[in-house]
């Protein structure tokens, strides 16, 4: 536990995770501004499980994870899904898979269309750049092997704190085969994904320092440098239970927070603002525990209502993911022996990493990526069939705005409806609730071809399950509650078969088509979260279910803001950490004024 005995600061940031550390770092650039960060987890910046890129999965279910789980999901035949969230300095950026993936312009412009006129693609581009530095491999052989011919300097971060590099190496045949397969299908990326206007296959980058081959994340890139400043204060091991308000002026003014540290209830006061950055599950939970939410729900748990807002905890969005593992041809390298913790493989990987910063420890396993349209919907006749399919499932009136926005994205012929990846090891998704890796590890070497949704129609919720702050929230993502999501994802799963059979990739797999109904059944049995939950305290007009306004201020309050993934009105395509960082960078500028 880190103890900093400051109990009053200009700003209190609840949650020292991805967004919280960005904002706290930027605010303390002014030496006269004192910021106190309160983080429930511990400082794990020296923990090798956090720092070594390949170990991220070992943190799921550990003390660095809140270990949440969804309610049984009707759309998954009653299956519950694990919903990991990071708990410790750096939050989920300390346990994530490190893939650095771009949103699309249309996906971010949708935020403006939903009523946030100052939040569009143009407004966020400078912040994607500000947060990262893209390191291109220094040798031409690696650049050629990974097909990195698309980098556009207009969108490339060159001095941001998060170091982004390419985990693919020339020794690994999958990198080249992936790019060549997409080139062969005439589906190589149409540009730099961070231009916001590309689809197709490419070698993706990851938040990994290119020199030391360690995770680059909010904890080390924003947290540790800020800790050197006398005006940055941090308490770890403290779970905030409640925000305190003064309502004398008619507007709720947040004066402080209460939380327990080592069994003792403590109060911390803010002179200016309280900034919530507790993540997509814990942010709505904290609002509700503090009296901001649906009155009926608060009354049920005996919590006095300070601000009535039934949008709190609603609008939850996530990307479902699934994949199929195939045995690879003899000689192809994969991470399976490490997953099985085979001593010889571990020893060799450890040695390679320690001596040369090389080998399987240097990657989170995701280095080849593609943004794809359903192949059968690419042509005009297919687009018509897709529109008919969507029209069969009209929204309820309260879902119309969200439905229409998602529909416009899905029907845009230049917009992907799923991301395809190759994960270089088995993913035992049949093993019910174990998540991506499963528990029953198979012998042999595998690679998994995976699909992640880009623009789901289905939305869910996350609410308190008790007035007790230590109780887990009730998470109901309502996966596949809109049947179109299953229709689209199943078609992508089918298309993976054709990808595997391309000349370039087929030679890397042992020989082994899925009918659409089989693909649907497979998805219902196996799909799980790709860990991208957001939207549960959305930036939207209040009468459209909004919780914060365009300045990220909680409606009805004068100085309580939210800066984390909860505020996303619509989930961007692809893995969301780049947008979490960009939003937090912009939030810091908004707060600075």
Ligand X SMILES: Cc1cc2nc3c(=O)[nH]c(=O)nc-3n(C[C@H](O)[C@H](O)[C@H](O)COP(=O)(O)OP(=O)(O)OC[C@H]3O[C@@H](n4cnc5c(N)ncnc54)[C@H](O)[C@@H]3O)c2cc1C
Residues that bind ligand X (CB under 6 A): 14-20, 38-41, 60, 84-88, 91-93, 95-99, 101, 239-240, 277-280, 282, 286, 531-532, 564-565, 575-578, 580
Residue 18 is labelled as binding a ligand:
yes
Q: Which is nearer to ligand X, 233 or 491 (CB)?
A: 233
Nearest distance in Å: CB 540, ligand X = 17
Nearest distance in Å: CB 45, ligand X = 12
Residues ≥6 apart with Cβ < 8 Å to 282:
15, 66, 85, 473
Residue 240 is labelled as binding a ligand:
yes
d(CA 358, CA 213): 8
Structure tokens at 205: 């980058």
CB 505 within 8 A of CB 511: no
Nearest distance in Å: CB 240, ligand X = 4
Structure tokens at 256: 């402080």
Nearest distance in Å: CB 141, ligand X = 26
Nearest distance in Å: CB 314, ligand X = 17
DSSP conformation letters of 376-434: GGSSHHHHHHHHHHHHTSPPPGGGHHHHHHHHHHHT-TTS-SEEEEEESS---TTSGGG
Nearest distance in Å: CB 322, ligand X = 16
Q: Which is nearer to ligand X, 210 or 520 (CB)?
A: 210
Residue 80 is labelled as binding a ligand:
no
Q: Which is nearer to ligand X, 87 or 132 (CB)?
A: 87
Residues ≥6 apart with Cβ < 8 Å to 98:
53, 56, 167, 206, 207, 208, 215, 364, 366
Q: Which is nearer to ligand X, 68 or 480 (CB)?
A: 68
Q: Which is nearer to ligand X, 91 or 359 (CB)?
A: 91
Q: Which is nearer to ligand X, 60 or 553 (CB)?
A: 60
Nearest distance in Å: CB 437, ligand X = 11
d(CA 320, CA 453): 6
Q: Which is nearer to ligand X, 282 or 417 (CB)?
A: 282
Q: Where are the beta strands (DSSP E) in 416-537?
A: 418-423, 446-453, 461-463, 474-476, 528-529
Nearest position to ligand X, beta carbon: 17
CB 545 within 8 A of CB 314: yes
d(CA 258, CA 267): 5
Phi/psi for 264 (5° steps) reads -105, 130
Indicate the annotated binding residues for FAD.
Answer: 18-19, 240
Binding-site residues, in ranges, read 18-19, 240
């Amino acid at each position: 536990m880190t103890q900093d005995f400051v109990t009053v600061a200009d700003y209190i940031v609840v949650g020292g995770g991805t967004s919280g550390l960005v904002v706290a770092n930027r605010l303390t650039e002014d030496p006269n501004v004192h910021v106190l960060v309160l983080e429930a987890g511990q400082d794990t910046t020296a923990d090798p499980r956090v720092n070594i890129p390949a170990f991220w999965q070992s943190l799921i279910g550990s003390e660095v994870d809140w270990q949440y789980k969804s309610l049984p999901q009707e759309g998954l035949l009653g299956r519950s899904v694990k919903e990991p969230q990071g708990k410790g300095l750096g939050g989920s950026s300390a346990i994530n898979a490190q893939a650095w993936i771009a949103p699309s312009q249309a996906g971010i412009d949708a935020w403006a269309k939903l009523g946030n006129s100052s939040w569009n693609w143009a407004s966020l581009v400078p912040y994607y750049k500000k947060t990262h530095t893209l390191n291109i491999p220094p040798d031409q052989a690696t650049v050629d092997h990974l097909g990195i011919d698309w980098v556009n300097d207009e969108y490339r971060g060159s001095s941001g704190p998060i170091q982004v590099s390419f985990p693919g190496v020339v020794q690994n045949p999958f990198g080249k085969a992936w790019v060549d397969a997409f080139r062969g299908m005439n589906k190589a990326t149409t540009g730099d994904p961070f231009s916001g206007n590309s689809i197709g296959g490419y070698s993706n980058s990851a938040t990994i320092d290119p020199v030391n081959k360690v995770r680059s994340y909010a904890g080390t890139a924003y947290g540790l440098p800020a800790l050197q400043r006398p005006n940055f204060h941090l308490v770890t091991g403290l779970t905030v239970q409640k925000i305190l308000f003064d309502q004398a002026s008619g507007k709720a003014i947040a004066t402080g927070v209460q939380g327990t540290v080592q069994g003792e209830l403590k109060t911390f006061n803010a002179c200016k603002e309280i900034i919530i950055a507790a993540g997509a599950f814990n942010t709505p939970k904290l609002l509700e525990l503090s009296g901001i939410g649906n009155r009926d729900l608060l009354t049920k748990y005996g919590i006095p209502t300070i601000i009535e807002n039934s949008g709190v905890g609603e609008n939850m969005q996530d990307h479902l993911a699934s994949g199929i593992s195939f045995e690879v041809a003899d000689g192809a390298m994969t991470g399976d022996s490490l997953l099985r913790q085979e001593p010889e493989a571990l020893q060799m990987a450890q040695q390679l990493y320690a001596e040369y910063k090389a080998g399987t420890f240097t990657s989170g396993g995701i280095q080849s990526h593609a943004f794809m349209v359903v192949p059968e919907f690419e042509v005009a006749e297919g687009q018509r069939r897709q529109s008919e399919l969507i029209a069969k499932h009209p929204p309820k009136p309260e879902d119309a705005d969200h439905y229409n926005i998602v529909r416009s994205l899905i029907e845009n012929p230049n917009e992907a409806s799923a991301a395809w990846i190759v994960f270089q090891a088995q993913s035992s998704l049949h093993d019910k609730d174990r998540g991506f890796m499963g528990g029953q590890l198979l012998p042999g070497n595998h690679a998994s071809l995976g699909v992640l949704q880009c623009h789901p129609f289905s939305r869910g919720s996350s609410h308190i399950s008790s007035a007790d702050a230590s109780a887990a929230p009730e998470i109901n993502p309502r996966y596949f509650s809109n049947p179109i999501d299953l229709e689209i994802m199943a078609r992508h799963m089918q298309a993976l078969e054709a990808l595997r059979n391309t000349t370039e990739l087929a030679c890397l797999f042992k020989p082994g088509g899925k009918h659409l109904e089989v693909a649907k059944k497979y998805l219902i049995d196996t799909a799980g979260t790709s860990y991208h939950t957001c939207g549960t305290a959305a930036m939207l007009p209040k009468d459209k279910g909004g919780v914060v306004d365009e300045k990220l201020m909680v409606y009805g309050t004068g100085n309580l803001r939210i800066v984390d993934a909860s505020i996303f009105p619509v989930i961007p395509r692809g893995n969301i950490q780049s947008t979490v960082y960009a939003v937090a960078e912009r939030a810091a500028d908004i707060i600075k004024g």
